[in-house]
Structure 1
Amino acid sequence: MNTSDATFGGTFPFAPHYTHAPGFRMHYVDEGPRDGGVVLCLHGEPTWGYLFRHLIPVLSQTHRVIVPDHMGFGRSETPQDRSYWLQDHIDNLERFVLALDLNEITLVMHDFGGPVGMGLAARHPGRIRRVISANAPTPFGQADLLDRVLANASTSPWFQWIMQADAKGSLEAVLGQLGFNILSTLKLNGFENNAIINDGWISAYSAPFADPADCVGAIGWAKGFATGAHSFETPDAAANQAIRTKPALAIWGDADRTLGAEHFLPLFAAIFPAAQTIRLPGVGHYCFEDAPNTVASLISDFIRQS
């Protein structure tokens, strides 16, 4: 767990906030006017709120931008006696949102932040204002979800590695050293913008994984896929109908090697058939790193126009 207040060369100057509402010490960024509309940014594996460092200053001029670190990631605590399945992260986010009494939420989701955010939407559709997927799956009770997940896994280097490493019994050992192999993990997932790599950048992403005990969250997400332990939230009929009326936007880096557009954009279109989908050539899985200004502009414009 990274408990420092390091700004990583001034690239993450945001004041830390903490809550114990989810049953552990959860870190979050909270920037912008308190009476502004809420933008809730949800990261995935193996990142943390640092992923949104370029987006926060843009949106916080007019909106309240809240960026929590999931349990076991970033500056949040990594309890050793908790499970780290999808449903646990949904539970944690729900408690966080209720504790802060967040409403009129614009969801900005990346990677497994998609299933977590859509889980929140399934439970509390009335609190959601807009939905933005940025290389993030948007499962919402679709009948073909499992088929799409398995089809993607058959071609994704990351998911292929997870299955092979779990079968060989090496998954925990490798991911338990994320502090040392963070760059190779990001590259395997589809990080393309080599120009931004420097010591500070590597430190920002490796610092939360200083020793194996800090890596339990990252291990849990991968292990949950390998063992089928993750449980996707299924909305009831009312929630399903309510979310379909929300303004929505999909932004997808086409060079994503982890989550193929052909497998996951149809999930988004099934819920939001009239929504705009913007595909970014040459941009990888970590679109917020590969094209930060483009993605921030697209999100800002969409919020303003909707």
Structure 2
Amino acid sequence: MIQPDATFDGTFPFAPHFTAAPGFRMHYVDEGPRDGEVVLCLHGEPTWGYLFRHLISGLSTTHRVIVPDHMGFGKSATPAQRSYWLQDHVDNLEALVLALDLTGVTLVMHDFGGPVGMGLAARHPDRIRRIISANGPTPFGQSDLFERVTANALASPWFQWIAKAEASGELEPVLGQLGFNILSTLKLNGFENNAVITDSWLAAYGSPFARPADCLGAIGWAKGFATGAHTFATPGPAADRAIRGKPALAIWGEADRTLRAEHFLPLFSAIFPTAPIRRLAGVGHYCFEDAPQETCGLIAEFIRQT
């Protein structure tokens, strides 16, 4: 876990907030006017709220931007006695949203933040105003989800490694040293913008995983896929109808080697057939790092337009 006041040489200058509502010490950023429209940003593996630092700065002048760190990531605690499956992260996010009584929420979802956010949407569609997927899958009860996940895993170096490492017993030992191999993990997933790599940037992404005991979140997400432990939400008919009527946007870095557009953008279009899709050529899985100005600009413009 990172120190609460860590700013990484001023690159993450946001006051830390904490809640015990999910049953552990969960960190979140809460920037912007209290009465502003809520933008809730959900990170994935192996990142944390630092991923959204440019979006926080850009939107918080007019919006209330809330960025939680999932259990086992960033400045949140990594309790040893908890499980780290998808459904646990949805439960934790739900507890935060209810504790803060967030309504009119624009979801901005990256990587496994997509399934976590869609799980929240299935439970509380009345609290959601917009859906924005940025290289984040949007599973929402589609009948072909398993086939798409399987086909993607066959083409993805990251998911290929997960399957091989779990079978050989290497998954936990390797990811238990994530603080030392964070850059190779990011590169394997599809990170293209080497110009942003500095000592501060590496510390921001590596220091949450200083010891094996700090890596349970990263291990859990990978292991859940290898063992089938993750449970994807299936919305009820009312929630399904409600979410399909929301404004939605997909942004996808086409150089993503972990989540292939051909497998996951159809999930988005199945829910939102008329929603815009913005493909970013040469941009990898971490679109907020590879093309921060373009990605954040697209999000800000979409919120203004809708």
* Native 8 Å contact 2:17 2:27 kept in 1: yes
Whether 2:242 is the aligned partner of 1:242: answer yes
Aligned to 2:30: 30
Deviation at 1:3, TM superposition (A): 2.5
Aligned to 1:2: 2
Deviation at 1:124, TM superposition (A): 0.2
- One-letter code of the match for 1:304? R
Aligned to 1:221: 221
After TM superposition, the structure 1 = structure 2 runs for residues 95-174 of structure 1, keeping only pairs within 5 Å, are 95-174=95-174
State the SS of the aligned residue for 1:54. Answer: helix
State the SS of the aligned residue for 1:53. Answer: helix
Deviations 1:174-200 (A, max 9, x none): 000011000000000000000110110
Percent identity over paired residues: 78
* Native 8 Å contact 2:31 2:60 kept in 1: yes
Considering only aligned residues, what root-mean-square deviation do their CA atoms show, in Å?
0.4
* Native 8 Å contact 2:38 2:66 kept in 1: yes
Deviation at 1:6, TM superposition (A): 1.6
Aligned to 2:195: 195
Q: Runs of at least 4 residues of structure 1 off by over 3 A? A: none
Alpha-carbon distance between aligned partners in 2 of 1:53 and 1:4, rounded to the nearest angstrom: 16
Alpha-carbon distance between aligned partners in 2 of 1:57 and 1:249, rounded to the nearest angstrom: 21
Alpha-carbon distance between aligned partners in 2 of 1:91 and 1:203, rounded to the nearest angstrom: 29
- One-letter code of the match for 1:145? L
* Native 8 Å contact 2:250 2:276 kept in 1: yes
* TM-score, scaled relative to structure 2: 1.00
State the SS of the aligned residue for 2:181. Answer: helix
State the SS of the aligned residue for 1:178. Answer: coil
Gaps of 5+ in 2: none
- One-letter code of the match for 2:33? P
- One-letter code of the match for 1:14? F
- One-letter code of the match for 2:208? P
Alpha-carbon distance between aligned partners in 2 of 1:53 and 1:94, rounded to the nearest angstrom: 23
- One-letter code of the match for 2:153? A
State the SS of the aligned residue for 1:143. Answer: coil
Deviation at 1:250, TM superposition (A): 0.1
- One-letter code of the match for 2:53? R
Aligned to 1:18: 18
Aligned to 2:78: 78
Deviations 1:66-104 (A, max 9, x none): 000000000000000000000000000001100000000
Alpha-carbon distance between aligned partners in 1 of 2:153 and 2:3, rounded to the nearest angstrom: 34
Alignment length (residue pairs): 306
Deviation at 1:2, TM superposition (A): 1.2
* Native 8 Å contact 2:4 2:16 kept in 1: no
Alpha-carbon distance between aligned partners in 1 of 2:141 and 2:242, rounded to the nearest angstrom: 14
Deviation at 1:9, TM superposition (A): 1.4
State the SS of the aligned residue for 1:180. Answer: coil
